[in-house]
Chains A and B, each alone.
Chain A
């Protein structure tokens, strides 16, 4: 348990939030995509985070599994939103069905924007934690100078 572990934990937070940001970008970029390799419209994607015990001494790892010790964060899986696609009336669209409705992605731009701000703030919080760890380590290096 030292400052390097703290740096690693904060870095895992940065990486997780960056992945979240990438998925938000993908969702926004595909807000009008009606064709995908799997068929049908694009489906909104979201990441699920989980706490991952810091690798280290067995005792620490055991405690971390019980939720009593510092843990990194990692993306455990990427899930697709199960909400039904939006139906849009556009008879001229090549993907329209017999009644003139097109199935559009279930992406809500408003929701993505809010998520984006949340991801940005979390990223910044981790950056601040890294900066604090760095300052502390540098200050410790000055001991005895």
Chain B
């Protein structure tokens, strides 16, 4: 008998994790922009790609539904919480600022646009996954 596959596959878990990390990244970048004129402020960011590479959603915190019948579709629990490590942004090679602030506003705004675009892409992909799932549930009608 074929093993039933999960209702929400691993792609969805990955997309969820991406959205979480990109949200954290947006928060970090917003903080850098808001503090672009704060003396001695050191910017930081989330290394989204690196986090994704080493990421496996913390298994211990997953809650699975109990299956009383082995033909029931397994429903994976949601990965709980984001724990995104923040890393400092290297200071620009040349800076004429005397106030100890190392925010590179152009670079930050670029990263902000990049992050926002990738967030929207992931959201759209996730939306597409759910749409096709619904399509199957409704029998293609």
Contacts and interface: CB of A to CB of B under 8 A. Distances in A.
A20 B38 CA distance: 12
Interface string A55-76: 0000000010001111111000
Interface residues of A, number: 43
A79 to B, nearest CB: 12
A120 to B, nearest CB: 12
Interface in B38-76: 38-39, 41-42, 44
Nearest to B124: A139
B91 to A, nearest CB: 14
Interface in A1-54: 1-3, 5-7, 9-10, 12-13, 16-17, 20, 48-51, 54
Contacts of B23: 1-3, 6, 136
Contact of A125 (B19, B33, B82, B115): B33
Give chain A's interface secondary structure class: helix
B34 A140 contact: no
Nearest to A119: B37
A129 B112 contact: yes
Interface of B: 19, 22-24, 26-31, 33-39, 41-42, 44, 82, 86, 105, 108-109, 112-113, 115-116, 119-120, 123-124, 126-127, 130
